[in-house]
Amino acid sequence: MHHQPPESYMTPSHKMTRQAMSFAATRLSAVIAAFAFVATGLLAAPAHAGKLKDVRREVRRPRPSKTNTARQPRSNYQPSNSNDDGLGAIIALYIFTAPWWLPHTLTGDRFGRTYAFPAAPYANGIDGYVRFADMGHTRKDATGRAYLGGGGALRMRLESGWLGPDLSRLTVGGRLSSSQRIGLETEWTLYSEFLTGNVSDRLWLGDVNVSFIFAQNPWVQFHSGLGVRVMNDDIQTDVGFNFTYGLDLYVAKPVIISASIDMGGLGEAFVTHLKAHAGIILGTVEVYAGYDRIDVGRSVFGGPIIGIRSWH
């Protein structure tokens, strides 16, 4: 259901200046992050010699047998300075958690704010995407609450990618978001390899994650979460864990930039999945193009993608 745009109001000049500076910093940091994702993949674009049989080999290779080795006594041991260790641990913690607290700070986000989702980014002439109750909206709905939008959002997508003359991919995915910041997202890709003698080989790679929006304003959303990764073919199904981190940047109507990185385990292989794309939205439908790369152990697939995403 589409809503009419909320009425804006004039804020004090110093507050607008601070908001403008915050939005500018957010846009710059998110643009740099998104293009870093793309550059990383393009500079390391792989050849596709291994193909699907190598993916299975990486995931299902036998575990090496463990051998008992005698522990060697530690020599010339020097006790460490506990104060130095404590300071180093604090610094390491700040660096390790920077991908979460830094975007939260730059966006000027605050947990506990009431917000909602319009029909789509830039819908009805609004700037950006999510709307907050404390943004000064004066229009009221039938219950007397400030106009914001819906309490949840659903986006679904279909995309295809080029991986070489004998290998193709088709992906379906979606994300369900709520005004409590908790969401559910999934992606499933069918890889098809054309072999000699009109024979084909296929397998599915997918994941399901519970995610949390930890930083946002009308111009950008950062989300991160945990879940499971799955590989399925005619032989068996393999399951592992997955970590996901991504962002959606609403630069200016009608442009949307999205990027994500997933890491985890699948059988005996470590999996890294990198994706970035830029799109144009018309109404509630976005058409986009970008780059996708997945590393399953030493088996690597990467190439350009095109897709379509619907926002609800």
pLDDT at 77: 56
Strand partners, 174: 156, 186
The pLDDT > 90 percentage for the chain reads 60
pLDDT at 132: 86
For residues 42-64, give the mean pLDDT. 70
- Whole-angstrom distance, CA of residue 149 vs CA of residue 35: 31
Q: What confidence tens digit (pLDDT) does each residue in 121-154 have?
A: 999 888 899 988 776 544 444 454 445 678 899 9
For CA atoms 174, 110, 246, 22, give the dihedral sign: positive
Burial class (CB in 10 A: 0-12, 13-18, 19+), 20: exposed
Token readout for 150 is 């819906």
Q: What confidence tens digit (pLDDT) does each residue in 165-201 have?
A: 889 999 999 999 998 999 999 999 999 998 877 788 9
Angle between helix 13-43 and 82-106 (nearest 10): 110
pLDDT at 73: 59
pLDDT at 67: 62
DSSP SS3 for 143: coil
Spatial contact of 155 and 310, defined as CB atoms under 8 Å apart: yes
Is it the case that residue 66 has pLDDT exceeding 70? no
Q: Higher confidence at residue 256 or residue 43?
A: 256
DSSP string for 219-253 = TEEEEEEEEEEEEE-SS-EEEEEEEEEEEEEEEET
Q: Higher confidence at residue 72 or residue 29?
A: 72
Q: Which residue has the tokens 């193009």?
A: 289
Q: For 236, phi and psi rounded to 5 degrees?
A: -165, 180
The domain ranges of the chain are 13-60+111-311
pLDDT at 11: 46
Per-residue pLDDT band for 164 (boundaries 50, 70, 90) equals: confident
- CA 75 from centre of chain: 47
- Whole-angstrom distance, CA of residue 108 vs CA of residue 18: 10
Per-residue pLDDT band for 76 (boundaries 50, 70, 90) equals: low
CATH code for the structural domain at 13-60+111-311: 2.40.128
- Whole-angstrom distance, CA of residue 58 vs CA of residue 61: 6
pLDDT at 48: 43
Q: What confidence tens digit (pLDDT) does each residue in 80-112 have?
A: 566 667 888 889 998 999 999 999 999 999 998
pLDDT at 71: 61
Spatial contact of 23 and 103, defined as CB atoms under 8 Å apart: no
- CA 196 from centre of chain: 37
CA atoms within 13 A on the CB side of 265: 5
pLDDT at 125: 85
- CA 152 from centre of chain: 18
Q: What confidence tens digit (pLDDT) does each residue in 185-244 have?
A: 999 999 999 887 778 899 999 999 999 999 999 999 999 999 999 999 999 999 999 999
Q: What confidence tens digit (pLDDT) does each residue in 284-312 have?
A: 999 999 999 999 999 999 999 999 999 99
- Whole-angstrom distance, CA of residue 252 vs CA of residue 304: 24
Nearest to 209 by CA among 258, 114, 273, 304: 273
The pLDDT > 70 percentage for the chain reads 73
Q: Kindly state the helix (H) or strand (E) to which residue 16 belongs, with its residue range.
A: helix 13-43
pLDDT at 238: 97
